[in-house]
Amino acid sequence: MKASSEAVAESLGSRGVKVNPYPPLEEALYINVEGPFEIGLLEKKVMVDKFTAESVLQGAHVYAPGIIKCRGLRRGDRVTILDDRNGAVAVGIAVMDEREILRLRKGLAVLVVRSLYKVPSLREAPEYLKGWIYPQSMPAMVTSRVLDPRPGDVIADLNCAPGGKTSHISQLTGDRALIYAMDRTARKVEATRETLNRLGCRNVHIFIQDSRYVHLDHPELRVDKCIVDPPCSALGVTPKVYENTEHSKVKALSDYQKQFIKAAAEILKPGGAMTYSVCTITPEECEGVVEYAVKNCDLAVAPQNLTLGDKGISDYSEDAKYLQRFHPHIHGVGYFIAKFIKV
């Protein structure tokens, strides 16, 4: 890590950003979210897509690719930012006009000055640009701790983008583990590379790979530990402006996730450890995948060395007491973690 938690807290505090230590994770700091606040409807409005609206609620500004409508917008206009169902999420000041937004389709378009929730925009902070911080949810940090990476380990991250867990395990081992980080597109791999470079992480080999087939494409690969954090329905991600995921999509995602588990089990050495995590709450993607892994992949559920959430749902898994669930209404985010040992 480039800076200690104390140094980061002092630096942020000097600019008026209040952060707090989080004793269960010595490398973590947390920020209290304030709100909700009243957002008025102004004459000028900018409509953004769902992802952008939810990013604004987390402290982001509005960038051109996320804008759906901005009719008559001029630089300097004070605008209400709407989600794509006309819900007001923030007030901002335009720094691009309509023509620039539609022509360029990139760059900062609206500077947010007031949001439903007050959260500092960390990605523009000097500490972020220096590689001192990486914004991440508490359960995601717990996942890396549960894996218990050690110096000298050979570790594979099958779903590495955008690099949060890859960089965390690299830092936890003092850059003394050999990490293979893979994802299926050049864009995702490049995002991971940028994260690792910014944070100063080394000893990571990054490559493009549909990791469902890593055991077939790289039959020689054997690892001590493995992270599986596959695409999911993301129903646990907060805040949300709305949600309309259908059950058929959840079922398809569960089947998809099982393919990563199977591939990971193939490259894991006997006695090796694997974490499976998803930012969702559906039994099909959580306990259902665990049951598949135990019955089909020579994996046994293992106790977790750090438990900050609740147990799994016993109706769906015989090993529920060893699983870890986080609930949006209790922990602020929905998340699931399982740990396996290769038998």
- Catalytic residues, by residue number, are 279
pLDDT at 120: 86
pLDDT at 106: 94
The identity of residue 127, as a single letter, is E
How would residue 1 be classed by pLDDT, with cut points 50, 70 and 90? confident
Where do we find the tokens 């717990």? 142
Q: Is pLDDT above 90 for 137?
A: yes
Strand partners, 324: 337
Q: Residues 85, 241: contact at Cβ < 8 Å?
A: yes
Q: Which domains does the chain have, with CATH numbers?
A: 5-31+121-129 (no CATH), 44-115 (2.30.130.10), 138-342 (3.40.50.150)
Give the length of the chain: 343
How would residue 22 be classed by pLDDT, with cut points 50, 70 and 90? very high
Report the alpha-carbon angle 246-252-258, nearest 5. Answer: 140
pLDDT at 11: 97
Q: Is pLDDT above 90 for 65?
A: yes
pLDDT at 123: 86
Where do we find the tokens 């699931």? 336
The identity of residue 265, as a single letter, is A
pLDDT at 242: 93
Q: How do residues 213-252 score in pLDDT, each as one tens digit? A: 999 999 999 999 999 999 999 999 999 999 999 999 999 9
What tokens were used for 4? Answer: 């200690």
Strand partners, 223: 268
Between the alpha carbon of residue 331 and those of residues 31, 59, 236, 237, 308, the distances in Å are: 14, 19, 10, 11, 9
Q: How do residues 90-132 score in pLDDT, each as one tens digit? A: 999 999 999 999 999 999 999 999 999 988 888 889 999 999 9
Dihedral sign from CA coordinates of 211, 214, 216, 222: negative
Q: How do residues 72-82 score in pLDDT, each as one tens digit? A: 999 999 999 99
pLDDT at 128: 96
Q: What is the mean pLDDT of the chain?
A: 97
Mean pLDDT of 264-269: 99
Q: What percent of the chain has pLDDT over 90?
A: 96
Dihedral sign from CA coordinates of 54, 30, 132, 334: negative
Q: Residues 143, 307: contact at Cβ < 8 Å?
A: no
Q: How do residues 85-99 score in pLDDT, each as one tens digit? A: 999 999 999 999 999
Give the per-residue SS3 of the chain: CCCCHHHHHHHHHHCCCCCEECCCCCCCEECCCECCCCCCCCCEEEEECHHHHHHHHCCCCEEHHHEEECCCCCCCCEEEEECCCCCEEEEEEECCCHHHHHHHCCCEEEEEEEECCECCCHHHCHHHHCCCCCCCCHHHHHHHHHHCCCCCCEEEECCCCCCHHHHHHHHHCCCCCEEEEEECCHHHHHHHHHHHHHHCCCCEEEEECCHHHHHHHCCCCCEEEEEECCCCCCCCCCCCCCCCCCHHHHHHHHHHHHHHHHHHHHHEEEEEEEEEEECCCCCCCCHHHHHHHHHHCCEEECCCCCCCCECCCCCCCCCHHHCEEECHHHHCCCEEEEEEEEC
Strand partners, 277: 337
Between the alpha carbon of residue 113 and those of residues 78, 85, 316, the distances in Å are: 9, 21, 45
